[in-house]
Amino acid sequence: MESVSLKRIRPIFTLLNLVIGWHLLYEGIAKILTPGWTSAGYLVNASGPLADLFQTIAESPTLLQMSDILNIAGLTIIGLCILTGVFTRVSAIAGALLISLYYISNPPLAATGVGYASEGHYLLVNKNLIEIVILIVVAGIPTDWYYGIGKLIPKLPVGLFRKVNVPAEINHEPKGPDTGRRELIKNLISLPVIGGFAFAVAKNHGWKSHEEEGHKEAMTDATTAPTIKLTDAVDLRQLKKPIPKGNLCGVEMGRIICGGNLISGFAHSRDLIYISQFLKNYFTEKKVMDTFWLCEECGINGTAVSARPEPVKLLHSYWNKGGKMKWVAPVYPKEDDYKTNIDFAIDNGAAAAMIMGNIGDNWSRAGKWDLMAEVVDYIKSKGVPAGVAGHELETVKGAEAHNVGAEFYMKTLHSRNYWSWQPDQKKDKRIIENYSIDNYWERSPEETIAYMESLNKPWIAFKTMAAGAIHPKQGFKYAFENGADFVCAGMFDYQVVEDANILTGILDHPNFKRKRDWIA
């Protein structure tokens, strides 16, 4: 007669097997269905006592291929066996050993990039260790303590090569037919769970939903507890909270706007002449989709990619997959034809448009204020907010003095506290004429701060990190404390989560001080 206690614990341990088996099986299947998945990033980033060994494996194509195969096969087979209750004990031991390698290679012995309080990281104890302990428990419990398909598989006879006659009187009393049917049904509990698993995998990986496809692919390494992503910086689990939003002339926009230089294939790179080609190779269409998706999840819901066909094509691809990034378009109006590029931007979905900075500076220097006003009016006539961008403070001052009618401004701002600033250098060259030296983008930060404080219009600050010479912790703080309503920042995908956490940390800090009112 089955004891009452056994009746109670069987469902509990059956549920434990189903959950841990599902998780490991999904880890394996997800890697199979993720094109180009490899353990290389995980091995290269190993930091534990076996770091050298794992990095050696990553450097060898043969060993790396073996590692990938063993990871995928191990997780898939171990997960399936535990889920179904087939060879559960052996599979649980194998699983504990496999995940122990993950734990040893990246032990949680120090803080992550966002501190000690990151989700899943509790100093010594992390998700990997918890899963190892669970698998040890699964390996140690008697098979009678759970249901599973494995219990329906006939066992080999005790004496494989000789017949053993067991006296009838010492046999256990056979169970009645009703009890047998009940036991059969209970041991088949894995079947509907496997069906649910297949449905979930098909929905996430097999059915091509335009919206979900782009979002699911963003987590390119398809990993959760047993393995780590290529870098913690891309891991949305590290996000503390989405960044706050402001109002740019009626358009709700995150306080950080994703800059367009990086994903457009060019950037201020000083003497690093290979950077532009690197950017073009790095930012594939999928990488741009990943970056936009990460931005949206972090509350960075706006981008300032240029009004050219290539970036716009990427935006359309993202929107077609369900993305909702808002486009603040820097437009390139020509003196003899200012309408064509503006029409192109707005017809292709721009939520706001502004005269591009170099053009704004050139027209300012030439005194073409009437032309600038005509262009601004035309943008407004298309039904979107109109702005003017410039590197020089004279561009903003002149636009105000001549009543150009700009509804917002995009103006550079950064401190002088960075390595490539040259104190003895005369700053008599306009910024766009200084590209041969490429070491300043704001000639008079104090004057910019003082003037913008008196201006009751939204201000997007750009070049706040002096083209990579200033850390976002200093650049963001300097810009927002000194009056900027938004910051336009170029970001790689692995910087997005970190930048969002930096901004919220700055704005939420009790010592954050800002003189200028929030205009947006």
Question: Do residues 466 and 503 share a domain?
Answer: yes
**Domain span at residue 292?**
239-508
Q: Which helix (H) or strand (E) covers residue 354, if one does? A: strand 352-355
Single-letter residue type at 491: M
- What is the structure's pLDDT at 201? 57
Question: Do residues 8 and 93 share a domain?
Answer: yes
pLDDT of 164 over the 80 cut? no
Banded model confidence at residue 192, pLDDT cuts 50, 70, 90 = low
Q: Is 227 among the domain residues?
A: no
Q: Are 378 and 353 in contact (CB under 8 A)?
A: no
- What is the structure's pLDDT at 508? 96
- What is the structure's pLDDT at 199? 54
pLDDT of 231 over the 80 cut? no
pLDDT of 469 over the 70 cut? yes
Question: Do residues 190 and 252 share a domain?
Answer: no
Which CATH number does the domain housing residue 442 bear? 3.20.20.100
Q: Is 162 among the domain residues?
A: no
Secondary structure (3-state) at 327:
strand
Q: Is 291 among the domain residues?
A: yes
Question: Do residues 411 and 314 share a domain?
Answer: yes
Question: Do residues 378 and 257 share a domain?
Answer: yes
Q: How many CA atoms lie within 13 A of 429 on its CB side?
A: 13
Nearest CA-CA partner of 29 in 215, 214, 226: 226
Q: Is 171 among the domain residues?
A: no
Single-letter residue type at 199: F
What lies within 8 Å, CB to CB, of 196 at 6+ separation is none
Question: Do residues 207 and 268 share a domain?
Answer: no
Based on the structure, what is the number of domains in the chain?
A: 2
Question: Do residues 393 and 265 share a domain?
Answer: yes
Nearest CA-CA partner of 302 in 229, 262, 246: 246
Task: Determine the Cα angle at 332 with ends 326 and 335, to 5°.
Answer: 145
- What is the structure's pLDDT at 113? 43
Q: Is 516 among the domain residues?
A: no
Q: To 10 degrees, the CA torsion angle through 476, 481, 484, 489?
A: 0
Using CA atoms, how far residue 494 sits from 55, 277, 320, 329, 489, in Å, is 21, 19, 24, 24, 14
**149 DSSP assignment:** G
Question: Do residues 25 and 73 share a domain?
Answer: yes
Question: Do residues 309 and 383 share a domain?
Answer: yes
Q: Is 174 among the domain residues?
A: no
Q: Is 79 among the domain residues?
A: yes
Q: How far apart are CA 414 and CA 487, in angstroms?
A: 11
Banded model confidence at residue 501, pLDDT cuts 50, 70, 90 = very high
Banded model confidence at residue 84, pLDDT cuts 50, 70, 90 = confident
Q: Are 350 and 384 in contact (CB under 8 A)?
A: yes
Beta partners for residue 303, in sequence order: 258, 327
Q: Are 6 and 145 in contact (CB under 8 A)?
A: yes
Question: Do residues 187 and 259 share a domain?
Answer: no
pLDDT in tens, 301-337: 999 999 988 889 889 989 998 899 999 999 999 999 9
Residue with tokens 């995928």: 72
Q: How far apart are CA 257 and CA 491, in angstroms?
A: 10
Q: Which helix (H) or strand (E) covers residue 358, if one does? A: helix 357-366
> Does the model's pTM come out above 0.85?
no
Banded model confidence at residue 198, pLDDT cuts 50, 70, 90 = low
Q: Residue 196 is encoded by which pair of tokens?
A: 């649910």
Q: How far apart are CA 100 and CA 447, in angstroms?
A: 58
Q: Is 381 among the domain residues?
A: yes
pLDDT of 100 over the 60 cut? yes
pLDDT of 384 over the 50 cut? yes
Beta partners for residue 488, in sequence order: 257, 462
Question: Do residues 197 and 266 share a domain?
Answer: no
Question: Do residues 341 and 420 share a domain?
Answer: yes
